[in-house]
Amino acid sequence: MSEPISSTSKFTVTPKTSVSVLFAGDSGDGMQLTGTQFANTVAVYGADLNTFPNFPSEIRAPAGTIAGVSGFQLQFGSKPVYTPGAKFDVMVAMNAAALKANLKDLHRGGIIIACTDGFDEKNLKLSGYQEGANPLEDGTLSNYIVFPVPVLQLTREALKESGLSNKEIDRCKNMFILGLLYWLYSLPIETTVDMLHAKFGKNATIAEANIRAIKGGYFFGDETEIFANLGRFDISPTKQHGTYRRVTGNEACAIGLTAAANKAGLELFLGSYPITPATEILQTLAKMKKWGVKTFQAEDEIAGVLTSIGAAYGGALAATNTSGPGLALKTEALGLAVMLELPLVVINVQRGGPSTGLPTKPEQSDLMMAMYGRHGEAPMPIVAAYSPVDCFYTTYEASRIAIEHMTPVMCLTDGYLALSSEPWEVESVGNLRDINPRFSPERKADDPPFLPYKRDERHVRPWAIPGTKGLEHRIGGLEKQHETGHVSTDPDNHELMTRLRAEKIEKIVDSIPLQTLDNGPEKGDLLILGWGSSYGAIKTAVEQALAKGLSVAHAHLRYLNPFPKNLGELMGNYKTVLIPENNYGQLVHLIRDKYLFAPVSFTKVKGLPFNEMEILEKITDLIKEH
């Protein structure tokens, strides 16, 4: 173990409430690892944070080009932070392409730490700068504070006696940068040092070299004079005493499903097919064998959902995860699940569409598909997660609804939530709502015949699983006769069953909470009604608007079908309702259709989440109009 390091006090340390940092470099520069380490350090230090990786859809785009730039953005603060930051305050640019690709999102006056080795003639040419032009030297960055650092040279210097090959030494340059950033923000290096020891336990040389590179960066900050005018910063810890973990949205979904199965006393079965950006749910659950989780990587999206339907018939908590194109392939099977009235959780990690669209970019454009994307009258409840941690609670709730109401449930997240992360104070078991599967008990020969479609007061049919004596029954996709479940083409029966299936979904409203306000006055000029990953941006914007004295409130929907009972009444308390969505206007249709008034639609379809500045600007414009 290394001893904690301390630095001299020749630099002033300025407290800050929050900072947004971007680590950007070539996909081969290890920016995801660097960003993740920085995030872990910040988390353990006790600041709040929110992270978002941004990488190319190609595994190995050509090195040095704009297409090959990989970024990891995070915001951390001594107050709660809900987004990775609309723009960043600090950019680490490992090469010219990273600078060029991201400069537009750096605050004017922001800090650029540029790795000068990545700005040689070749890199400048590959990133499309004109011959002879070098942004680090030609004054084009005069609106920013630029620190050119010869990272590669300094790393080589620091590691010359490490015993590593030149190639191995060069690979440590991201740790040098990490050390420098730790120094700049007065953060401890121990979290990363411990990780390196754990990771390279058997290979002490590599671990020591990486640690030396971190220290090299840290002491460089202290020893060089280039930061003399800037000084250092400090963000004081904000988190209360407690046990925390950092999760991405996809991880939280996997944990949510496993927790729900465990709480309900069921086996978890996930039938799935790899698809960006939903795959990590399958990957995470494949590692959950200790909890008895069964994952089935199917031959296609169709088999992914159908294996789950088979497992649901057998009495498992069955789920499938996918993204838009995969959901399209699953739609016929979802109609079957509606007809069979079996529990099934469908996690759709939305991405830019249509077709292959923008596979690595988030969008909220599958709401209509979730609501109406099946043939026939095939209603399905819909829930949507609003933050990485909320992916746990929403998936858990989707599982509860599926099991207790015997229905497939659509659980919407998106590519932004899926890959973003934030700290989560470890949830205690006692806080999780009970989930009660109601299996039909076995019957004796002289009992009356079993009726698989006999419904209870909530219109829920029994879960009768194979292996139970006396419940042998046949179900299928053909229309079912009321109560008996026999095949029926009777016109009146079809109309009755259509109504019962619709009412069953409507009745879920009795088991979900009323809609609450997230922030703002109970009556006023403007209500922002959000859903999904726009939560952080809306939350931050509304806080700022309220601080300016504007009459604005924020409500965020988890339940999109059915809507909470009081939603209409709640919306009626405001002169205007604004619905921001990362689509071409979908929730606004559902709200207009159900409540017969005209909310203001605010859409963004760029493959990027909303940022707080855009929302704040819209709020200001709308309130000005009053």
Partner 1 sequence: MTDIDTSMASRPVLTAKDFASDQEPKWCPGCGDHAVLQQLKNAMPDLGIPPEQIVFISGIGCSSRLPYYMATYGVHGIHGRALPIASGLKTSRPELSVWVATGDGDALSIGGNHFIHTLRRNIDLNVILFNNEIYGLTKGQYSPTTKVGLKTVTSPSGVIDHPFNTATLTLGAGGTFFARAMDRDGKFLRTILSRAAGHKGTSLVEIYQNCPIFNNSAFQAFAGQENKDESTVYVEHGMPLVFGKFRQKGIRLDGSTPTVVDLFKGDVSEEDLWIHDEKDTFKANLLARFFDDPLTVENFLPRPFGVFYAEDRLTYEDALAAQIAAAQENGVGTLEELLKGDNSYIIK
* Residues 385, 345: Cα–Cα separation, whole Å: 14
* Residues 291, 302: Cα–Cα separation, whole Å: 26
CB of 258 to partner 1, least distance (A): 6
* Residues 398, 392: Cα–Cα separation, whole Å: 10
CB of 423 to partner 1, least distance (A): 9
State which residue, 220 or 392, has the beta carbon closest to partner 1: 392
Q: What is the distance, to the nearest Å, from the Cα of residue 43 to the centroid of all Cα atoms in its chain?
A: 17
State which residue, 128 or 237, has the beta carbon closest to partner 1: 237
State which residue, 171 or 263, has the beta carbon closest to partner 1: 263
State which residue, 265 or 513, has the beta carbon closest to partner 1: 265
Amino acid at 566: N
* Residues 213, 394: Cα–Cα separation, whole Å: 42
Provide the 3-class DSSP secondary structure of residue 585: coil
**Residues 6 or more apart in contact with residue 310 via CB below 8 angstroms:** none
Provide the 3-class DSSP secondary structure of residue 109: strand
Nearest to 428, CA basis, from 169, 195, 284, 243: 243
Encoded tokens for 170:
């060069």
* Residues 94, 127: Cα–Cα separation, whole Å: 12
CB of 426 to partner 1, least distance (A): 5
CB of 588 to partner 1, least distance (A): 34
State which residue, 150 or 292, has the beta carbon closest to partner 1: 292
State which residue, 170 or 194, has the beta carbon closest to partner 1: 194
* Residues 295, 304: Cα–Cα separation, whole Å: 10
Distances, alpha carbon 436 to alpha carbons 236, 339, 343, 441, in Å: 44, 22, 12, 14
First to last CA, the chain: 63
CB of 350 to partner 1, least distance (A): 24
* Residues 398, 493: Cα–Cα separation, whole Å: 29
Nearest to 351, CA basis, from 11, 609, 136: 609
CB of 442 to partner 1, least distance (A): 7
CB of 394 to partner 1, least distance (A): 16
CB of 77 to partner 1, least distance (A): 15
State which residue, 167 or 474, has the beta carbon closest to partner 1: 474
State which residue, 9 or 243, has the beta carbon closest to partner 1: 243
